[in-house]
Chains A and B, each alone.
Chain A
Amino acid sequence: MKSILKMKKITNIILLLVGIVFLAACSKDTETTPSPEKTKIAESTTSSGLIVSLYSDNTSYLVAYNKVYVQVKKADGTSLSNATVTYSSLMDMMTMTHSSPVEQPIYNTSDQLYEGAVVFSMPSGDMGTWGLTVKVNNESLVFNVPVNSTATNTKHTGTFVGTDGKSYSVSIVQPAAPQTGMNDLEVLVNVKQDLLNFPADASLTIEVTPEMPSMGHGSPNNVNPVSSGNGHYTGKVNFTMTGDWRLHLKLLRNNTVIVEDAALDLLF
């Protein structure tokens, strides 16, 4: 185990070195490129000639809460910082279509990207394909984005039917890279209004209970997430070891249990 850890350490160092080399290579380039850990998922050009690129923190979008970054460049290569950009997602399942929770992007001056988020609730594949519509200054581009499942036995987002009859989408925002010890916990809750509208729900109380399903034990010192606005709830979660962890999230509204056990699974 130790040697594996050591290997990991070495790999990390190598990755870091590679990263530094990349950075150095990039800095020579006058063109602004997002930092190298982001992957370009797709690129398209609007009829007015704006080049719109989609980026992800991962090598593809996942069935999870995904940060979705958009770069908008003019034909001459300069970034456009004052565009009005909106996202909408659509799953086309032949017999029906539905959307998913979306957080509209805001321009981030430091990396010159429009940063928003989309919860993809199922993988693309035989069941259907995900279309992500990016609207830039009233010009719409539709990207067919592949959405991959997360690792086996993990579940980063889920839809749970509440005692009030409504469906709630619950997604893990943080920890994106869980580690042993205390982690920041952030969850996003959206309520399904109809097939196309998933407004954020900031009026809940959440209780978190982590569990290792293969051991049956939990962990102490967790802090229940409290609303930080826009459907986000932040707290703390303590992972005492690596492995499979299940987060049992209990959603309450005015002391009434809405969802008894919104269970999401992590693996690290």
Chain B
Amino acid sequence: MNKKQILSYCCALAIYTASAQQADSLSSNAIDRTLLLKEVIVQPEKEISAIYQEQQRSNLQVLTDKILESTPGINMIRRGNFAMEPTIRSLNNGQITMTIDGMRIFGACTDRMDPISSYVEPNNLESLSFDVNPGGGSYGSSMGGGINFKLKSPSFTSSKKMSGTAGLGFESNGQAFQSLAGMEYSTPNFAIQANGIFRRSANYTAGNGQEISFSQYRKWNGNVSALFKTAAHSYLKTDYIQDEGFDIGYPALTMDVSFAKAKIGSISYVYFHPEKNISWETKGYYNYIDHAMDDTQRPKETVPMHMDMPGNSKTMGAYSALTYQPSLKHHIKARLDGFNNQLSAEMTMYPDDGAAMFMYTLPDLARTDIGLNLSDDISLNDQFNLQIGGRFDYAHDYIFSEVGKEQLSGMFPGDLSRNRFLTNLNLELGYTLSHAWKFSAEVARAARSSTLQEAYSFYIYNRLDGYDYIGNPDLKQEQSTNINLSTRFHSAHFVAEISGFGYFFNNYITGSLLDGYSVMTIGANGVKHYVSLPSAKLVGAELALKWSPVENLILTSLNTYTRGSDNQGNGLPMIAPLKTVNAVLYNLKKVSLQAESISYAAQNNVNTAVYGETSTPSSTILNLNISKEFKFKGSPVLRANAGVDNVLDREYVQHLDIMKIARPGRNFLFRMTALF
């Protein structure tokens, strides 16, 4: 191995460890081969969807939301044209974890306008790893795994090296514009990168030519990351992201966002020893999310009473993650992590006559959590491998201020702090029948505590069903037994992957009507509080096909289906119907052409009376894209792409669109990114 190879190996290992998960589909094959000493467990659709994501990510400009949206198993809850909220197999909110480089970050908005996915941009995103497993590989207790956004890291080089990126993009619909720039400087002992992106969009136009008011946004995101080599086998890494959004419209909600600011910083120490197969990362982090909702831009007649609704979220945490391969048969991972999150949100209302009214919607809530992950991938023999994992959490919830306690004293009696111990376990058996066929079966036992919002919300209005929600500090842990069965077949030109899954819940957390409570929000239908349903279930399947009949031509089909029902057989809310994404990709020299159709079946398995949801008709849109890569002497590369989304200018909505606001109509896109 020459020096360069060793270095890239080290960096790859570091990246791999940091994500503390199975090597992600987006890492190059070379890394996979180097690192995966164990058998690769069937990871449905990952490989197939990778083509997609690479295509989208190559220009560094596509919104993270769109990258997520094209990942099988992920559907986005849409409240506006910006900051959509990911769901994994229709599990959402507290049922999944979302982390940036393993860091826990919690949105500050009571209306979930700021999922943490809105704080990473493709130009600082190395990869996103998505795991449906609640056990040993996860970053927190969950029902169905989570998404970890792995940030781009600079890397040490054998000689001094400087490189940069710059890009510009324009979209016709909404006159959206984005520009980005970045640079990286590397030496054998020091490396630094800095990059930034600015985005702006006016109101978009739906398929019927109707302009959607309050769908504009404006934001910038900057990231600085540096590595300092401390010894032959160790280095320090610092990372800082600042993301600021302004004037973000949420057409589905009654208020917009005047600003959403995130400051995310971390410092980590990485020890790696390839010969001993050890990699160990210890990180400390802090993040601060500041968010303010705004109704001042809305027409007067739609605002019964002006109000200010700011909120903030502070999280301080640390983790230490170790991967160790004592032999070819074992791949051991251990991770100890902890965090403290403080949430505060308030509302001040200004009636035309009478005094201003003030209350906390999240009355100074906090959670301290300590968790331990352990997992081992065991190669039993050439055909069988076993993954065994567990996560154990101790969570302490409390109210951190006297005013918070006083306000909640009117709602819940007694001391409101709660302690919970959570256990997540998973067991996965992989079987390689032949080179072509692989099978895997997985069972998991998942548990999560209620979110702080579910436990202590103070009249938070839910736009979906039109009810004010009050928390319930005495919610039992939500638990589930998960079953997942997968098969993978591949030949020279054809790959098929299929998986079926079921989540069988106990103490499923949902809203239930509180009689005799008067609503706080003007016009709300009533007041609900969170309760635990004795049981609920979510079943589904995923099918991915890739066929390359001739060279340079690839046909793909990604299909996902989920169906949820509660203990009474009512359809659960926010469950995506059958989704099918079919694409043709043709590569000719340095030009690639892509056509895709995205279809959703109608969702009629809804219960309006219980969950306030209405059914959604089916929809299909067609997107076209052409990309070309220009190479110049030396190393500069120019990537240009042009495309049309929703070519047929269809007026459509999807089931997870809150208030069913029509999605964008035809949109011409032009993007150019230079790498030098």
Contact = CB atoms under 8 A, between A and B. Distances in A.
A243 B349 contact: yes
Contacts of A241: 347, 349, 357-359
Given A181-B407, A181-B410, A244-B354, A1 B308 contact: yes
A214 B353 contact: yes
A11 interface: no
B410 A239 contact: yes
B357 A215 contact: yes
B409 interface: yes
Contacts of B410: 180-183, 219-221, 238-240
Given A181-B407, A182-B410, A240-B410, A1 B516 contact: no
A212 B357 contact: yes
Decide if the interface of chain A is mainly helix, strand, loop or mixed: loop
A267 interface: yes
A185 to B, nearest CB: 12
Contacts of A220: 410-411, 514, 516-517
Interface in A191-245: 212-221, 238-244
B355 A240 contact: no
Contacts of A179: 406
B132 interface: no
A135 to B, nearest CB: 41
B243 to A, nearest CB: 22
A242 B363 CA distance: 14
A199 B226 CA distance: 80
B520 A181 contact: no
Interface string B514-546: 101111101000000000000000000000000
A33 interface: no
Interface centre among A218, A219, A240 (most CB of B within 10 A): A240
A97 interface: no
A1 B354 contact: no
A267 B518 contact: no
Contact of A1 (B310, B351, B519, B522): B310
A153 interface: yes
B459 interface: yes
A180 B355 contact: no
Interface residues of B, number: 33
Nearest to B408: A181
A215 B408 contact: no
Contact of A180 (B353, B407, B517): B407
B520 A213 contact: no
B412 to A, nearest CB: 9
B604 interface: no
A243 B403 contact: no
A224 B349 CA distance: 28
Interface centre among A2, A215, A219 (most CB of B within 10 A): A215
A184 to B, nearest CB: 11
Contacts of B609: none
Given A220-B517, A240-B410, A242-B359, A1 B353 contact: no
B359 A180 contact: yes
Interface in A170-187: 179-183
Interface centre among A2, A181, A218 (most CB of B within 10 A): A181
Interface in B392-449: 403, 405-411
B354 A153 contact: yes
Contact of A181 (B346, B358, B406): B406
A136 B411 CA distance: 48
Nearest to B312: A2
B348 A1 contact: yes
B169 to A, nearest CB: 38
A216 B411 CA distance: 19
Contacts of B310: 1-2
A84 to B, nearest CB: 42
B508 interface: no
B351 A238 contact: no
Contact of B349 (A5, A215, A219, A221): A215
A215 B411 contact: no
Given A180-B410, A182-B409, A215-B357, A240 B520 contact: yes
Nearest to B351: A214
Contacts of A240: 359, 407, 410-411, 458-459, 520
A183 B410 CA distance: 8
Interface string A1-42: 110010000000000000000000000000000000000000
A180 B459 contact: no
B232 interface: no
Contacts of A214: 305, 349, 351-354, 357
Contact of B411 (A2, A5, A153, A221): A221
B356 interface: yes
B354 A243 contact: yes
Nearest to B350: A214
A218 B518 contact: yes
A213 B305 CA distance: 13
B354 A217 contact: no
A5 B354 CA distance: 20
A221 B458 CA distance: 14
A153 B355 CA distance: 9
A242 B360 CA distance: 10
A242 B351 CA distance: 12
Given A214-B354, A214-B357, A241-B347, 7 more contacts: A181-B406, A214-B305, A216-B522, A221-B411, A240-B407, A243-B351, A244-B354
28 contacts: A5-B403, A180-B403, A181-B406, A181-B409, A182-B409, A212-B357, A213-B354, A214-B305, A215-B305, A215-B349, A215-B520, A217-B519, A219-B518, A220-B410, A220-B514, A221-B411, A238-B410, A238-B411, A240-B407, A240-B458, A241-B357, A241-B358, A242-B357, A242-B359, A243-B349, A243-B351, A243-B358, A267-B355
Interface of B: 305, 308, 310, 346-349, 351-359, 403, 405-411, 458-459, 514, 516-520, 522
